[in-house]
Amino acid sequence: MSAHKLLFLLPVFLVTPLCLAEPIQARNDPVKIETVKGVSSNTLLATNTSRMPVTVTLQLSNFSNLTSSKPWPIQAQMAGGQTMELVEIAAANRQFGYTMDYSSHIVQGDPRARHDASISYQIPFVAPQGFQVLQAADGPQFTHHTVATRYAVDIDMPMGTTVVAARAGQVVEVVSQFADDGRVEPAYIDRANYVRILHDDGSWADYFHLMQNSAQVQPGMRVAAGQVVGLSGNSGYSSTPHLHFHVQVNQNGTVISLPFHFINSHDGIFTPRYQSWLIPDAPSLNAGKPKAKKATRECLPAGKALNELTIRCLSSS
């Protein structure tokens, strides 16, 4: 939410307004709003600086001597990179200036998007063994307390594990500059490295806590399912190296997480559950190479928990 204050003063009998104050724009807002001065009116112009579609809502609070080309609140959907005129404003009595205070609220995603629930997501990492789910919707919620993270999964994995796209789409955001010094402290909430991929149905997936400077993709790139996006790390609000993965959509102006299911050759199509094991399919580039030890998928029957027999199997050559 960003607050904006406009003050347009006119000497008596003058018609052309003089802008004395520009809107205050929060540094992190993906949408920049500016005032374009005209002869007898002004226009609020918005530019979406991100590659994500967004919904912009302007809410008027205090004003005087104001007339507007549209009723408030004003709402508009913007595509990534789009610039558009939101509203034209002017003094109701042209002999005097006008004042107005308004706030802007930006929500990522297109509220008209509908997630394709029939899609099965690939396991979002490549490794010779499976990794355990530390947090999921059916278990204790240590940090996933909001509607935006309700169905997210945290996957335990060592730093440097190859992270891949679980579904094809367009890379819209990449953050990679933060150190792998994760801590469960408020100051670290916005210090996670991540990649965001927008899917064709308007939903998107986030891959959080990546290793510093490990991103292998850039905004604007089209990626296929299974394509490497980076390496797992321990950046941001994190107590242990892991990968946070979720699927989100803009639902009626609120970003929410969605239930989803994975697919692999070991378990078929399944919903990730608390303390379950995710076993990635072997990448084709390793086909035919000898293995010193058996992979988890060879030792752990589908749907079974890790036990002593599995550990013995993994230890055998």
Range of the domain at 38: 2-108
> Domain holding 195: CATH number?
2.70.70.10
Do 101 and 125 lie in one domain? The reply is no
Other CB atoms within 10 A of residue 178 CB: 21
Q: What is the pLDDT, as a whole number, of residue 306?
A: 52
Total number of domains constituting the chain: 2
Do 162 and 229 lie in one domain? The reply is yes
Q: What is the pLDDT, as a whole number, of residue 282?
A: 83
Q: Tell whether 186 is covered by a domain.
A: yes
Do 141 and 253 lie in one domain? The reply is yes
Q: Tell whether 114 is covered by a domain.
A: no
> Domain holding 40: CATH number?
2.60.40
Counting as low any pLDDT under 70, the low residues of the chain are: 1, 5-28, 284-317
Distance CA(317)–CA(295), nearest Å, equals 10
Do 38 and 150 lie in one domain? The reply is no
Q: What is the pLDDT, as a whole number, of residue 105?
A: 94
Q: What is the pLDDT, as a whole number, of residue 2?
A: 73
Do 104 and 126 lie in one domain? The reply is no
Q: Tell whether 275 is covered by a domain.
A: yes
Structure confidence by residue, pLDDT tens digits, 36-62: 999 889 999 999 999 999 999 999 999
